[in-house]
Chains A and B, each alone.
Chain A
Amino acid sequence: MGKLILQRLWQSVLVLLAVSILSFLLIFLTGDPVAALVPLNARQEDFDNIRQQYGLDQPIPVQYFQFVIKALQGNMGESFRYHTDALSLVLGRLPNTFLLAAVSLALSIIISLPVGILAARSRGRVFDLIASFFALIAISVPSFWLGVILIIVFAGTLRWLPASGSGSWQQLIMPAVTISAFSIGFLIRLIRRSVADTLQKQYVVTARSKGLTEQVIAWRHVLRNSAIPIVTVLGLQFGALLGGSVVVETVFAWPGVGWLMIQSIEARDLPVIRAAVLILAVFIVLINLAVDIIYSWLDPRIKLHNGSGAEANT
């Protein structure tokens, strides 16, 4: 385990380096950032002034190295739009996004796990059909539509919940429900499928013939052995949610990273985009490391550090 983490640490440095270079290049591919900073009727001198002011007149490699040197000192530059420190701007939004992601994911797991397992155990019977039907609807409903409908019903007609903003638990409910609808449907189908497959294995039959209760079989034998795709998808989902669910954050005016990112991309606010992408990269690396560690905990036969794969070539 220690070896795995150590190996991953230096690999992560390379990942962060690659991400910073790529995000740098991608931003310039989207167009001239200065064009978004000057008024429409700007003269050539205005362009040149702004270009110089933000250091955008330098060649891209030079700009990149200046960025790296500053970033290593913890300075990601100043936002073009807000004229405050880009890093603290992103970090200030992060708790909101993290909270929303964690609550949505927890909600998805709490609902989809029991439903998925029960559906697998009653495959083809009534419960399975109902569960699959609801999963289908949950997946098919687009989040911008669901969000708006929830606002109309619970904030408009019933006046139970505030329509937008953040800060209280009431404001968390609708965005979390909107986000988790898709993952609940997705996870129910995935869990149902994986568990149904595992249920047919010989060791489950053995466990049953030993007289173990269905409860013990489900949690101890079946879930553990069908968990790998489920854990993978949860990891992917968590990473995607930390990147910010743009649609939901926009619909509910939830001040998270996704919203900030979209606004910054539209305004070509380069320092903020870079800071947000790098922060996200750190989280993605950590999540994927955690998922790999969970793999080897679920199935001790899985070894991930270098050297274990060589036997496949023989």
Chain B
Amino acid sequence: MINRPLSGITEQLPGDELAGPVAPDPGQIGVKRPRSRRWVRNRSTLVGAIIVASVVLVALVSLFWTPHFYDEQDLNRSLLPPFWMDGADPGFPLGTDLNGRDLLSRLMVGAQASLFVGVASVLVGGIIGMVLGLVAGFFGGWWDAIIMRLVDIQLSLPGVLLAIAVLAAIGKGLLNVVLVLGFVSWVQYARIVRGSTLAVKSQEYVLGARAIGAKNNRVILKHILPNILPPLMVVATINVSSNILSEAA
């Protein structure tokens, strides 16, 4: 359970802070929030930011320095208790594992892997899924049929089978884990983005933009994308943490 501190942080990010001001939805009315509520909002952003920053800091420090080498074994000091229990060794604040490896050092190095896997796999899956979902939802017809049936196929193949097979074929390693997790998760984003795109596509402001002759890519980037981001952000940030947990599993 190296990942405990991480699974929490991402939850501070969704929605409110990221997507709120990004969406210039002409259907929205600019209501200014009372100062008190903005303060509450900023405070939870601040707490989130501090937690994220501290994990990133730990991961960065561990690149240069850890109390002990993370893989150094010494059976004489196996299973030392952490500092809040009796019999702890001050040299090993979080104790040691079965093989006498320092848990604090392992936790610090583990933060690197967790951060990398969580963020990178969501980026890989999110970008593939967003592009394909936008294409399917916006152009519809054959595009939609082909992409969404691909989604059906991918959803039907059990993730475990896919992971074992792909990792057996291309080998293990952190980068490959990222690729597998990203590749397995693109379907979620694709379906969510497509659903929201379908709904936004027929809103008055999109029809209006088309009526005054806006090109497809302009309509997609300026009018559809900002309006489908909020649900996407919620899903993406939750996935950062659940991907970290799957990497552990």
Contact = CB atoms under 8 A, between A and B. Distances in A.
B139 interface: yes
A15 B152 contact: yes
B155 A189 contact: no
A202 B153 contact: no
Contacts of A189: 11, 14-15, 234, 238
A27 B156 contact: no
Contact of A193 (B14, B37, B44, B195): B14
A89 B165 CA distance: 24
A30 B28 contact: no
A284 B11 contact: no
B41 A229 contact: no
Given A19-B153, A277-B158, A302-B198, A312 B234 contact: no
A140 B191 contact: no
Contact of B191 (A26, A232, A246): A232
Interface stretch (A75-83, A121-129, A215-223): A121-129
Contacts of B64: none
A302 B152 contact: no
Contacts of A231: 195
Contacts of B187: 236
A302 B141 contact: no
Contacts of B11: 132, 135-136, 139-140, 189
A68 to B, nearest CB: 16
A288 B148 contact: yes
Interface in B1-46: 1, 7-8, 11-12, 14-16, 19, 23, 25, 27-29, 31, 33, 37-38, 40-41, 44
Nearest to B4: A140
A301 B27 contact: no
Nearest to A21: B153
Q: How large is the interface on B (under 10, 10 to 19, 20 to 34, 35 or more residues)?
A: 35 or more
A190 interface: yes
Nearest to B199: A228
B119 interface: no
A197 B202 contact: no
A75 to B, nearest CB: 20
A130 B159 CA distance: 34
Chain A interface mostly helix, strand, loop or mixed? helix
B230 A194 contact: yes
A66 interface: no
B51 to A, nearest CB: 11
Given A194-B231, A228-B196, A232-B191, A11 B145 contact: yes
A87 to B, nearest CB: 16
A12 B145 CA distance: 11
A139 B199 CA distance: 28
A309 to B, nearest CB: 2
Interface string B215-249: 01000000000000011011100100110010001
A233 B196 CA distance: 11
B212 interface: no
B140 interface: yes
Contacts of A31: 168
A243 B238 CA distance: 21
B33 A124 contact: yes
B157 interface: yes
B133 to A, nearest CB: 10
A136 B191 contact: no
Contacts of B216: 312-313
A161 interface: no
A229 B28 contact: no
Contacts of A288: 148, 151-152, 155, 191
Contacts of A132: 11, 44
Given A193-B19, A193-B233, 20 more contacts: A14-B149, A15-B149, A26-B157, A29-B169, A30-B165, A123-B37, A139-B238, A140-B8, A142-B1, A193-B230, A228-B195, A232-B192, A261-B160, A265-B160, A285-B152, A291-B195, A295-B195, A299-B199, A309-B142, A312-B216
5 contacts: A19-B157, A26-B161, A142-B1, A231-B195, A243-B158
Complex A-B, nearest 5 residue pairs according to Cβ-Cβ distance, in ascending order: A309-B140, A309-B141, A281-B156, A229-B231, A124-B37
